[in-house]
Chains A and B, each alone.
Chain A
Amino acid sequence: MSLIALNNIYKIYNVGGEEVRALDGIDLKIDENEYLAIMGPSGSGKSTLMNMVGCLDTPSSGVYQFEGEMVQEMDDDQLASIRNRKIGFVFQTFNLLPKATAQQNVEIPLVYGNIRKAERIKMASKALEDVGLKDRMHHKPNELSGGQRQRVAIARALVNNPSIILADEPTGNLDSKSGHEIMGILNQLHQQGNTIILVTHEDDIAQNANRIIRLYDGKITEDLNTKKN
């Protein structure tokens, strides 16, 4: 069974009386430990697809199974719970809470997961250690560089041991050196067995993945296996 199975997914918006098909009949299966890059020009529906996969959005029609569970039938709280336990988000703009320290930021998913304080600190420290920020745990985001902030965000995504990590343009706001570091971390996470979905419009970033799909007008136009081994 696939980790993720999208079956004939449509997402249709009504903008000013006109029907916009953001996703137009998507069929996609993602297996465990895949390293997938979603590519496409703006407006192609890649953000919508990522939101869909990330359970932030539900399809207008079609079937979405996440580890066998029917996502399109879930209510808001069930979606929140799936996001909390199964999905780790990494955003282009990091989206850390500015007033909280690195460690507190990483703890947030655990707070919503109802995990006790002592346990939370342990898990957050471990996650920060894994991304190489052991000595920056008590710094606030404005005391960290862009690359370090993104690493905190990755630690936050990782801390709950999610089934997939969804990275939306993770290097988009970084210089190339920091970008390389971040991709290094993601590659490493993949090697450790994590499933990673990357949304990007940069070819060389997408090259890190083992599989690249291209979207155009809400349809998958290319599904390329670039497995190196």
Chain B
Amino acid sequence: MLLFFENFFISLSAVFANKTRSILTALGIIIGVFSVTMMGTLISGLDKTFESSMSMLGRDILYISRYEWFGDMEWWEVRNRPRMRTEYVQKVKQRSKYALAVAPVMQRGASLSYGEKETRTEIFGTNEDYMKTITANIVEGRFFSQNEDRSGSRVTIIGFGIKEAFFGEKDPIGKYIKIDNEKFRVIGVLEKQGKFLGLFSTDKQAILPIGAYNRVFSKRGWMRLSVKIPEEKIEEGLDEIYSVMRHIRGLKPNQKNDFAINQTKAFEKNYNMLKIAIGGTGTFITLLSLIVGGIGVMNIMFVSVKERTREIGVRKAIGATKGMILGQFLMEAISICLIAGLLGLMISYVFSILLNQVFPSTLDMRLAGFSIFISILVGVISGIIPSYRAANLDPIDSLRYE
């Protein structure tokens, strides 16, 4: 044990005596550790974003619209498909036995204002079933009723971000805001949710009854249906909704679907492919740089052994065993790799803090530990042959070595 620490200090002093050389040698390992930890950080950040975004969507919801989320159809083909219609809501409800809730969703950009305050945002027109198809809850006030929808009441539920921007700590319920210069009464506030896939904020939105939406804005425009299915019946529900929709559209058996039913699964599939791509690239870069780094360390260790042949001879003459010499040089290789690993980790850490400003990323401690372990492993692998050679040098020849 004592000798272990002695070797450690001897090797540290050897490494620090050749700072530039050691750092240059270890560059591959620095890059390797950096890329493996950044890859991990990126993937775990993506996972977090994805998980929270997917939970916003809900896994038990089918989204019926004209286009596939990740389809490869031509835009004109999609454009030629018939629109979704509000009548479908009733028809689906009547014909489907799995549908627990069916909500039409229309969406457009609009400008919201309250007094002097104004903001540009997305507004949604939907029905009373909408709350069943999303995961967010109402935190203040209430959602609108079927009657309010049918009668075209000008009421709205605002996102948490709008509430904060317009009303601050004050109670927004019962206040009137303007949506594209039309007055709407605020009856509810949605809970804070954050950004979807880190892209757009779901907290900046206003939800209107589709009745009022159609009257004030337009009946035409993009629409989707959100259909809630019991989670354990999602496969059967999907099949059923396909046939219900085909029936509504009056499609003959030989005709292709002129609508699409999307699921969060589509996101998952694409997301997993993205993850594999990132993971694969990261692993490839990591492996490559570790191999290059390892070869560099091995090379520098051979040089070091050669340069210090005489020292090895002296050490042997005054009583160092083979094991001690082996340990000394192995420890030196490990020290180089370990210092490189720590440097790489430090760079990763700084990067993850910077990245965290725009994207949820924290350096995973287990991954950090793993990368240190990898560094040590590279040190052992690349140091073992030069160290073995040093240990087996003949003391008499080494003492004579010039």
Binding site for B on A (CB under 8 A): 51, 54, 56-57, 76-77, 80-81, 83-85, 88-89, 91, 95, 97, 99, 108-109, 111-114, 116, 156, 160
Contact = CB atoms under 8 A, between A and B. Distances in A.
Interface stretch (B105-113, B218-226, B290-298, B316-324): B316-324
B6 A111 contact: yes
B358 interface: no
B319 A109 contact: yes
A95 B395 CA distance: 13
Interface in B315-371: 315-324
Contacts of B396: 51, 56-57
A85 B319 contact: yes
B17 interface: yes
B323 A109 contact: no
A56 B320 contact: no
30 contacts: A54-B317, A56-B316, A56-B317, A56-B396, A56-B399, A76-B321, A77-B323, A80-B316, A80-B320, A80-B322, A81-B319, A83-B316, A83-B317, A83-B318, A84-B318, A84-B320, A89-B317, A91-B314, A95-B313, A95-B314, A95-B317, A97-B314, A99-B14, A108-B318, A109-B318, A109-B319, A112-B321, A114-B2, A116-B2, A160-B319
B183 interface: no
- Classify the interface of chain B: helix, strand, loop or mixed: helix
A113 B3 CA distance: 9
Nearest to B13: A99
A57 B318 CA distance: 14
B310 A112 contact: no
Contacts of A76: 321-322
Contacts of A99: 13-14, 17
B3 A114 contact: yes
B311 interface: yes
Contacts of A116: 2
Given A97-B314, A109-B318, 15 more contacts: A56-B316, A56-B399, A57-B396, A76-B321, A77-B321, A77-B322, A80-B324, A81-B319, A85-B319, A88-B318, A89-B318, A97-B311, A111-B3, A112-B315, A112-B319
Contacts of A84: 318-320
Nearest to B2: A114
A112 B323 CA distance: 11
Nearest to B308: A97
